[in-house]
Chain A
Amino acid sequence: MSTMNRARLGILGGTLALLAAAAGAPAARAQSGWSLINMPRGVTDVSAKIYGLHMMAFWVCVGIAVVVFGVMIWSLIFHRRSRGAVADVTLVHNTRVEIVWTTIPVLILIAMAVPAANVLVRINNNANAKLDIRVTGFQWGWQYDYVGSGVSFVSKLDYRSDAARELDSGIDPDTVPHYLLNVDHPLVVPTGTKIRLLVTSVDVIHSWWLPDFGVKRDAIPGYINEVSFTVDPNRPGVYRGQCTELCGRDHAYMPVVVRAVSPADFAAWLKQQQALQKQGVDLSAQTPAPSG
């Protein structure tokens, strides 16, 4: 076996050994981190389209890599001086091959650009939404306002995460439910309904991201950004994301949590919130998070 190939096996072995060592590290957690290597397909129309585009792009890149790296590896093995290869110094330019390997990439790119443009235009259609929610980022949390209903509250990092995250808190993050991904008041939305978010900020730039929804939009002071989605009616549940634009000291501590429920449950919940507000209850008041 050549030095090069021996070395490559060494790299593989070394990497596996490192992974094994790290895997042996303490704390078994409920969801294995090792399997988290890809974008989720998610639960909305938007997220599914994005996932499809992402996987298409990924496989195209793998295909190109196999071909190009394959040629390189062939050359590295068979054209080595130590193997007796003699350089063919007449192989210096070839206009035809330049044209071919310019044209083929252009064709591949066009084949990728068409579906990408299609998805882009379709997911940016914010018309005919049934529910508008204003999302306001601030340092360091989110305010949610259900436009037209009077229901409005602040969503901040759950108190247990907030205690554990302090320097030398002595609290093991593994013991905190949904560490850094839990809030006191999640956003509640109905499934099977087109929802439009109106995203803005009152101080610096933030970004509202929910990976399972395929939704990310920057929250910028002076701007109101529109983004819309429909949650699959078969996928109610609690979904978690984070702020994704550096916004100061506690940028890592303003999660995005959404509870998607059936339209009937949503209507009931909204009515209940309106009633509470009428009684003078502050919807933003700190209470233990219900969703774990």
Chain B
Amino acid sequence: MAEPHVETTVHADHEHKPHGWRRWVFATNHKDIGTMYLILACLMFFIGGSAAMVIRAELFKPGMQLVDPGMFNSLTTLHGLIMIFGAIMPAWVGLANWMIPLQIGAPDMALPRLNNLSFWILPFAFTLLIGTLFVPGSAPAGGWTMYPPLTLQFGSSFPMLIFAIHLMGVSSILGAINVIVTIMNLRAPGMTLLRMPLFVWTWLITAFLLIAVMPVLAGAVTMMLTDHFFGTSFFNAAGGGDPVMFQHIFWFFGHPEVYIMILPAFGVISEIIPTFSRKPLFGYEAMVYATASIAFLSFIVWAHHMFTVGLPVTAQLFFMFSTMLIAVPTGVKVFNWVATMWKGSLSFEPPMLFAVAFLFLFSIGGFSGLMLALVPADYQYHGTYFVVAHFHYVLVTGAAFAIMGAVYYWLPKWSGRMYNMALAKWHFWLSTIFVNVLFFPQHFLGLAGMPRRIPDYAVQFTDWNMVSSIGGFAFGLSQLLLPYIVWQCVRAGKPVEGNRAWDGAHGLEWELPSPPPFHSWTVPPSDALIARGAEH
């Protein structure tokens, strides 16, 4: 059969691409906007990471050596808010922007100007958030969970915090709308839903979660705002209100939020493993249904963050059972990834290294999650470093490793160049070794009795804290390799031959040139091309 005609670089020479600062400020191109999101995410990762470095430095030994306890609490709060809302979420939106149109055969996102707004809200939001460090009373210090009444004790930073949260929420909601409309309306003819790559599926489902829960967060923080400034008593017991109601509303957002952060990771792993196993993804439909099940279940587990507040026993039982249930579709996904590798022909380029590390280490996070689900045991785990260990395993070795794997996977497509693979493997091994040195001992600390969100501790916790801090410094330092590798690749990496950077890669994005033209799929891909890309 004749090679179908695909967009070539001949057209690129005649493209009318905006130039200078206008190209970026007024960007409506999904590739440019995707790049901006990724750069923002990288910057926020290092800012949030710097806060973590100070935290681990203070926790290196007992006694206070560096910061005032109030500042420590502010750094903990900012670390959480920046990593969640500034690093992980924008990184996923950046990857969605870059890859969804390419993978479904669409010329761009459905709402390009809305896309621009969604991005440009964020630098303002984060300037506001980080700016709280410099106002009287300094940054908010109630944890990223912002529980009242504590959060209401912080002065000038409080309205800035609330406004920043609102801005981030609007950005996410608008971005999610864009993703859904794009996927539902702009798929090329022949790209049926059950032919879409898993990354597109997981983002479709994630977008619904975002629209469902970001408004709930907005409601919760607005009620806190009116409690503080307009005399309402939603969360003020003296006025007849209920501090625990905030927790219910917050976690109704908060639990789907963590699935928002991990579902796209599941999508990325489902792209990478088949490529480097040279085998199609095992159980494609099961994977779609498992993702949808996880998303549905994520709405009915929220109170597992609240097992010690004094819920009725019946409620504790319900949430224990629903939380344990989520392990089932998640396990199904892990088994399907392993089955994809099974009897494959495996090679271990950097994307695959990160994907395999994800499988091992995210699973460890899953195991501690299962333990946390058991309410009586959680009475001992809650509020300790055991929880900190759990969520860092699923968010760092889970979401963050998947993001890094995605960058190493698709960077040759975006830039048309291959990065320094030896250096990338150094980045991988240093990250993997030291992330475990950093977080594994935190399981011990939590079980042995160390609470979380404390700047100083009893002397029997010194040894493992020291190990954890050493791991933290080494992990943090080794992350500097990533932007260097990307920068070096984009500037002077060896050009990739042909469209397919990886011999086992399938999908419409690999049918385009590397880099793809500024406007790609201006002519939709043929059904033959889609079939070749789908391969399942």
- Which A residues are closer than 8 A to B by beta carbons? 4, 7, 11, 14-15, 18-19, 21-23, 25, 27, 29, 31-34, 36-40, 49-50, 53-54, 57-58, 61, 64-65, 68-69, 71-72, 75-76, 79-82, 85-89, 91-94, 97-98, 101-102, 105-106, 109, 112-113, 116-117, 119-121, 123-124, 164-169, 171-174, 178-181, 203-205, 207, 209, 211, 214-218, 220-223, 225-226, 240-253
Contacts and interface: CB of A to CB of B under 8 A. Distances in A.
B466 interface: yes
Contacts of B463: 22-23, 32-34
A207 B338 CA distance: 42
Q: What's the interface size class on B, roughly? A: 35 or more
Main SS class of interface, B: helix
- By DSSP majority rule, is chain A's interface helix, strand, loop, or mixed? mixed
A75 B451 contact: no
Interface stretch (B142-150, B167-175, B249-257): B142-150
Contacts of B413: none
Contact of A76 (B310, B331, B332, B341): B341
Nearest to B340: A91
Contact of A33 (B149, B241, B359, B461): B461
Interface stretch (B201-209, B221-229, B376-384): B376-384
B325 A246 contact: no
A223 B244 contact: yes
A7 B429 contact: yes
Which residue, of A15, A32, A86, has the highest number of chain B Cβ atoms within 10 A?
A: A15
B493 interface: no
Contacts of A242: 449, 451, 454
A54 B461 contact: no
Nearest to A61: B367
Contact of B377 (A32, A53, A248): A53
A36 B367 contact: no
A220 B243 contact: yes
A15 B429 CA distance: 13
Contacts of B515: none
A222 B242 contact: yes
Contacts of A15: 433, 436-437
A216 B308 contact: yes
A93 B143 contact: no
Contacts of B63: 164-165, 169, 171-173
A113 B436 CA distance: 30
B444 interface: yes
A25 B343 CA distance: 48
Interface string B514-536: 00000000000000000000001
A91 B327 contact: no
Contact of A252 (B238, B437, B456, B466): B456
A179 B143 CA distance: 25
Given A53-B374, A112-B324, A113-B320, A91 B343 contact: yes
A23 B464 CA distance: 10
A123 B374 CA distance: 13
Interface stretch (B88-96, B124-132, B277-285): B277-285
Interface stretch (B28-36, B66-74, B210-218, B402-410): B66-74
A113 B373 CA distance: 10
Contact of B279 (A14, A91, A241): A91
A102 B328 CA distance: 6
A246 B279 contact: no
Contacts of B375: 116, 120
A81 B462 CA distance: 45
A250 B244 contact: no
A121 B308 contact: no
B374 A57 contact: yes
Contact of A204 (B153, B283, B328, B338): B153
A50 B382 CA distance: 13
Given A18-B470, A61-B367, A89-B280, A49 B376 contact: yes
Nearest to B330: A105
Contacts of A89: 278-280
Contacts of A81: 278, 345-347
Contact of B344 (A87, A121, A215): A87
A75 B457 CA distance: 43
